Structure 1
Amino acid sequence: MNWRATLSWEDAKKKALILNKIRLFFSELDVIEVETPVLGRSTVTDIHLEAFQTKFDFFSDSDLNNSDTLYLQTSPEYCMKRLLASGYQSIYQISKAFRHECKGSHHNPEFTMLEWYRLGFEQEDLMNEVASLLKEILFCNDPIKVTYQNIFIDKVGLDPLNTTCTELKQLIYDEGKMSEWLFNEESCDVLLQFIMSELIEPLIGHNEPIFIYNFPISQASLARKNKVDERVAERFECYFKGLELVNGFTELTDPVEQLNRFNKDNIYRDQQEMQKKTIDRNFIEALRSGLPNCSGVALGVDRLLMLALNKTSIDEVITFSIDRA
């Protein structure tokens, strides 16, 4: 019966009310809804993300013998920042995003993202606004906030800003999680991300949402360096009841630094025999023209709906999952 919807009619009505509530939340703050393209000529260089791609033959400068590549966007981020550089004020968007990843109980390759940008906001300001939205939709307790460094020290007894790959592998081994690919892994960031997802995330955010902030600079290619500790960037994530809900930054506005970070991503991709990605020159030019000081955040709407409607699978909050599309 794969033709049937996985979202019930009763839950579809509840979902519509929640989406209306989100829009009302931003309307009351005078944050304006916008829409940006889903297809683009460039994509992200992020080594952990892969975009879907297709071909297009009809640009004015298209080569008759070679189609141009277009990418489904993994997030509306670059285009929204181009709007800010064009003179737009605080904005938000509820849009489809696409990531070429395995389907799971918490992820569908096509999903809905809420992304917003606030002019003049710092990381702390935006975390507080995210907390207000979560309380409005989920009726949850006040979130707590812990630095990335302190959550590692507290939960696994290791300082992530002063460690080595050998120490990280020893921790993974001691916890009974070692495998061949981890043993051969040479990136401390990959090992840290594994520890976060496998050893720390299951222990946090059970009773109230928790914000983890000030991630290592190497894990925040679009975020501004922290003014006090340049080992970390002003990036935060929010977790609640086993779900990673939110990823936000105080935005990097320096075009030279941003281009350097994109190039580093591509160098790493080349070293790992991954496909190098075309850097979004429109985005870089927007930064050169002047991106105002701002903070931005992406929130997984489907995961938020899972919590709001008390569901255990993303299939239950979308009409047709990828295997029924």
Structure 2
Amino acid sequence: MSEIREARLQKADSLVRKGFSSYAESFKISHTTKFLSQKFDYLENGQEEDYSISIAGRVMSKRVMGKIAFFTISDQEGQIQLYLDQRIINLDLEHKKLLSFEDLKEIVDIGDWIGVYGTIKKTNKGELSIKVEKWEMLSKSLQPLPDKWHGLTDIEKRYRQRYLDLIVNPHSKNVFKTRAKCISFIRKWLDNRNFLEIETPILQSEAGGADARPFITHHNTLDIPLYLRIATELHLKRMVVGGFEKVYELGRIFRNEGISTRHNPEFTSVEIYEAYSDYIDMMNLTEELIKDILADACGSLIINYQNKEIDFSKPWTRISMKAIVKKYTGIDFDSFSGDFLAAKQAVKNINVDCSNKVNTMGRLLNEVFEQKVESKLIEPTFVIDYPVEISPLARPHHDNKEIVQRFELFIVGRELANAFSELIDPVDQRERMQLQQSLRDEGDLEAHCIDEDFLNALEIGMPPTGGLGIGIDRLIMLITNSASIRDVIPFPLLKPEITSKKSEKSPSNEVK
């Protein structure tokens, strides 16, 4: 590697000695590869068009055959071939200060960025090409690209050096194009329905809106601890209190949790709140939004994910947590009449492991669901009516205070969305937050804390409201047929390659 780098440095120096730059300041592009391939698709083999072009890109391949050479360059939209003829490129060398065909052969390597001027032609073999008249070095690459035939096969390196992954794996580039288009589509979809995007703080004095362990940092001037947000919920609901009836935010969320194929500590979500609505309205909105995203991104409501065909056009199942647990395990939680010990023994009989935190009937029900049911929900399924113990911000049912008006959407065994009829009773909300705070004081770092300012906002008065959160990364996994969340996050969190003793303990004023 050092020999290759040294050789390329010498080539860069030779350009400077000739009076040219190895790293250009700018280059004016007239067209992209995609535009050219579409506009000149009609050309017959061997046909040329006197159409002036300036285009730039990274050299992906090169073939030199005496006085003729064929390069392939890549830009953001695709690739195109360069037809390089010594007679054409060297034609004006005596009158203008230009780089020659010989310079091209000797100095340009695969990986370099170059800009060219020329006209369009289709070769006798049917390859659309730029007939180059002159060229410029835009940026000299000092390190070689991975072999094009084998690509970047090291998965860890793909995530750690995403720039290489994007260069040699067209699929990866398409994934992130799709991600960007889907995010733009979601914003337009909501904006067209009169939702207003509100930016809420990332640094918060109290991290709330979800059961999750936050990242902690420190503000030096104020000398106070701050938390990276674990949800945008409580601040968006404050906006509803203030009179905004339809609000959302699409942005980053931070949770100090484990890393897996479906979890990254930094992820993207969209949270949506609509006054005068409930969780049924949010269910309808979720189904409509996701169907529209799929139709736009995939062109169909029937997709293939990891060799599983999923039909989103069919009516989506809506079923209570108790009913679906009974369907897949045979355990009817209503039959225990509140006998927790009997229920726990029945759960033990089907090999469900329970921690000490599973100390109520509702938590036990949820544990069975997560361990025995969740992974089986391949088709889009709304699981509704959750236990109140695990839903501290949701409105209870009128006829049963043990369950709340909440749903989670599951597709291919993963939670994709979570929504409630929001709890707007400030007295009930305070009692639930106090219970959560007691769990937190006992060591549950994921339990919700008391947010006095939010409780004060509720006492000012909040209208009936439906709230919804959708995990953008998991949605993109589904749309792009990606097996791991790391495949759809440009720069996922990774364990450092080298960990020194000095870095094992973070100073108190840094994010932990």
Instruction: Give the alignment's TM-score, normalised by structure 1.
Output: 0.89
Asked if 2 retains the 8 angstrom alpha-carbon contact of 1:182 and 1:191, the reply is no
Letter in 1 for 2:437: N
Shift of 1:94: 0.4
CA change 1:160–1:57 in 2 (3 A) is: farther
Cα deviations by residue, 1:251-290 (Å, 9 ceiling, x for unpaired): 0111121111111011123334759875222211111111
Asked if 1 retains the 8 angstrom alpha-carbon contact of 2:419 and 2:468, the reply is yes
Shift of 1:197: 1.2
Shift of 1:193: 2.5
Shift of 1:242: 1.3
Equivalent in 126, 137, 153 of residue 282 of structure 2? 126
Cα deviations by residue, 1:114-163 (Å, 9 ceiling, x for unpaired): 10001111211110110111211232233110112211222222233545
The whole-number CA distance in structure 1 between the counterparts of 2:457 and 2:321 is 31
Equivalent in 92, 117, 132 of residue 273 of structure 2? 117
Higher strand share: 2
Asked if 1 retains the 8 angstrom alpha-carbon contact of 2:363 and 2:389, the reply is no
Equivalent in 467, 478, 499 of residue 296 of structure 1? 467
SS of structure 2 residue aligned to 1:211: strand
SS of structure 2 residue aligned to 1:322: coil
Equivalent in 151, 154, 161 of residue 3 of structure 1? 161
Count of residue pairs the alignment pairs up: 313
CA change 1:275–1:228 in 2 (3 A) is: closer
Asked if 1:257 corresponds to 2:428, the answer is yes
Which has the larger Rg? 2
Letter in 1 for 2:192: E
Give the aligned partner of residue 281 of structure 1: 452
Give the aligned partner of residue 55 of structure 1: 218
Identity %: 29
Asked if 2 retains the 8 angstrom alpha-carbon contact of 1:169 and 1:183, the reply is no
Give the stretch that moved more between structures: 313-322 or 215-224.
215-224
Equivalent in 472, 481, 501 of residue 310 of structure 1? 481
SS of structure 2 residue aligned to 1:191: helix
Give the aligned partner of residue 175 of structure 1: 350
Equivalent in 237, 256, 259 of residue 81 of structure 1? 237
Shift of 1:229: 2.2
* Higher RCO, Cα 8 Å, sep 6+: 1
Where do 1:100-249 residues align within 5 Å?
100-138=256-294, 139=301, 140-141=312-313, 142-160=315-333, 162-178=337-353, 182=355, 185-204=358-377, 206=378, 208-249=379-420
CA change 1:234–1:57 in 2 (3 A) is: same
Shift of 1:189: 3.9
SS of structure 2 residue aligned to 1:19: helix
Give the aligned partner of residue 227 of structure 2: 71
Letter in 1 for 2:273: Y
SS of structure 1 residue aligned to 2:494: helix
Stretches of structure 1 that go unaligned for 5 or more consecutive residues are 60-66
Give the stretch that moved more between structures: 72-81 or 260-269.
260-269
Higher helix share: 1
SS of structure 1 residue aligned to 2:263: coil
Cα deviations by residue, 1:223-243 (Å, 9 ceiling, x for unpaired): 111113222111111101111
CA change 1:255–1:196 in 2 (3 A) is: same
CA change 1:221–1:277 in 2 (3 A) is: closer
The whole-number CA distance in structure 2 between the counterparts of 1:259 and 1:164 is 28
The whole-number CA distance in structure 2 between the counterparts of 1:183 and 1:272 is 12
The whole-number CA distance in structure 2 between the counterparts of 1:159 and 1:169 is 12
Equivalent in 252, 259, 276 of residue 96 of structure 1? 252
The whole-number CA distance in structure 2 between the counterparts of 1:267 and 1:189 is 18
Give the aligned partner of residue 77 of structure 2: none
Stretches of structure 2 that go unaligned for 5 or more consecutive residues are 1-156, 167-171, 295-300, 302-311, 497-512
Asked if 1 retains the 8 angstrom alpha-carbon contact of 2:436 and 2:449, the reply is no
Give the stretch that moved more between structures: 257-266 or 140-149.
140-149
CA change 1:68–1:104 in 2 (3 A) is: same
Asked if 1:17 corresponds to 2:181, the answer is yes
Shift of 1:167: 3.5
Shift of 1:4: 2.5
Instruction: Give the alignment's TM-score, normalised by structure 2.
Output: 0.57
CA change 1:168–1:76 in 2 (3 A) is: same
Cα deviations by residue, 1:273-310 (Å, 9 ceiling, x for unpaired): 75987522221111111111110011110001100111
Q: Aligned Cα RMSD in Å?
A: 2.3
The whole-number CA distance in structure 2 between the counterparts of 1:45 and 1:262 is 11
Letter in 1 for 2:232: P
The whole-number CA distance in structure 2 between the counterparts of 1:186 and 1:255 is 26
Letter in 1 for 2:179: K
Letter in 1 for 2:285: E
